[in-house]
Amino acid sequence: MRLTDLLGVEVIDQEGRSAGQVHDVRLVQDGPLVGGFGASLRVAGLVVGGRGIGARLGYQRRKVRGPWLVKLLFHWLSRDGRYVEWDRVQTVQPDRILISVPIGDLSRPETPESG
Amino acid sequence: MAGRVLDAGLHLLDRQLVDRDGRLAGKVDDLELTIPDGGGPPLVTAILAGPGALGRRIGGRLGAWVEAVANRLRSGEDRRPSRISFAVVKRIGSAIELSAPKAELETDRLEAWTRDHIIAHLPGAGDAPD
């Protein structure tokens, strides 16, 4: 599987509702050791939503600094952003990703900045 | 201990690759994700670079054409994007620093092939400075 097999794919819950498309894939460096890199990067979850520009520029992260007006604008643009933990992903198909959690139960994609 | 958190698209895609000696070695066009033998979440096992990987990101007919041209320039088992194992990744910053020299990376294959089979045959190619 490739990263681009996930990016842009629509995410659907068990009731057939769309949570939007995958805008990014969150990774955590806590996997098995690999060469000189240390712990490998593990797929932790999917950042999904109807609009992606704020997420792609990092404005969904609380600690990202920027002009307040720009932050406000991107916060509004990404207001429907959601985060899906990888263990809630059931199947990955070429045109859709099925998840086991209702869209209403998904959290916002904000996380503490450590990247 | 909680590990470092990165967003793949934001922090890895399109980042410059820099080899052991500080030379530019391509860009991150895609990532290889592998589900471990025992199951569980996928792990990032390699960086994919070059036109073979980029074509899929472009999408549509143009992307298919880019991928086809990249494949045409190679043959057999080489018909896949250049793959750089995460074992040679040293550091992820504004660029991706690698612990291997550029000549040992697969990203160098297409460049070397183009140099030897196309550029070298152009009139005046021998006059170019190294």
Q: Which of B1, B5, B57 sits opposite A26 (nearest CB)?
A: B5
The average confidence (pLDDT) of chain A is: 82
CB contact under 8 A, B5 and A28: yes
CB contact under 8 A, A56 and B85: no
As a whole number of angstroms, the distance between CA A97 and CA A91 comes to 6
Residue A115 inside a domain? The answer is: no
User: Which pLDDT score, from 0 to 100, does residue A49 have?
Assistant: 85
Q: What amino acid occupies position A30?
A: D
| Residue A109 domain flag | no
- CA B54, B82, A43, A87 dihedral sign is positive
Q: Do residue B33 and residue A3 have CB atoms under 8 angstroms apart?
A: yes
* Residue A58 forms part of a structural domain: yes
Q: List CB contacts of A64: < 8 A, sequence separation 6 or more.
A: A58, A71, A113
**Closest B-chain CA to A39:** B3
Look at residue A110 and tell me if it is in a domain.
no
Q: How far apart are the C-alpha atoms of B21 and A94, rounded to whole Å?
A: 39
Q: How far apart (Å, rounded) are the C-alpha atoms in residues A109 and B12?
A: 18
Chain B hits for A7, CB-CB cut-off 8 Å, are: 9
Q: What is the pLDDT of residue B125?
A: 75
pLDDT of residue A112: 42
pLDDT, tens digit (0-9, with 9 covering 90-100), for A32-80: 998 888 999 999 999 998 765 444 555 555 555 667 777 677 666 666 7
Are A111 and A61 spatial neighbours (Cβ–Cβ below 8 Å)? yes
- Contact call for B10 and A114, based on CB within 8 A: no
What CATH superfamily is the domain B9-120?
Answer: PRC-barrel domain (2.30.30.240)
Chain B CB contacts of A28 below 8 Å = 2-6
**3-class SS of residue A98:** strand
β-sheet bridge partners, residue A97? A11, A92
B42 vs B12, B57, B102, CA distance in Å? Answer: 16, 20, 27
Least confident span in A17-21, A108-112, B28-32, B47-51? A108-112
**Hey, is A44 helix, strand or coil?**
strand
Residue A93 covered by a domain: yes
Number of domains within chain A: 1
Domain assignment of residue A112, yes or no: no
Across B1-130, the runs of DSSP E, i.e. the strands, are 5-7, 16-18, 24-27, 30-34, 43-49, 82-85, 89-92, 95-98
Provide ipTM, 2 decimals: 0.79
Higher pLDDT, residue A34 or B108 = A34
> Do B109 and B82 form a contact (C-beta atoms < 8 A)?
yes
Domain edges within chain B: 9-120
CATH number at residue A22: 2.30.30.240
In a 3-state reduction of DSSP, which class is residue A87?
helix
> Which chain A residue has its CA at the smallest distance from B39's CA?
A87
Task: State the Cα–Cα distance between residues B41 and B35, nearest whole angstrom.
Answer: 6
The distance of A103 to chain B (nearest Cα, Å) reads 21
**What is the arithmetic mean of pLDDT over B48-55?**
74
Task: Answer yes or no: is pLDDT of A114 > 50.
Answer: no
Q: How far is B40 from chain A (nearest CA, A)?
A: 8
Give A82's strand partners.
A48
**Whole domain around residue A18: which residue ranges?**
3-104
Choose from A1, A4, A7, A47 for mutation: most chain B CBs within 10 A. A4
pLDDT at B13 over 90: yes
% of chain A with per-residue pLDDT over 90 = 53
| Among candidate residues A8, A2, A10, A42, the one with its CA nearest the CA of residue A26 | A42
Q: Quick one: pLDDT at residue B103? A: 82
The answer, yes or no, to whether residue A115 has pLDDT greater than 50, is: no
pTM: 0.77
Please tell me the distance from the alpha carbon of residue B33 to that of residue A1, in angstroms, as a whole number. 5
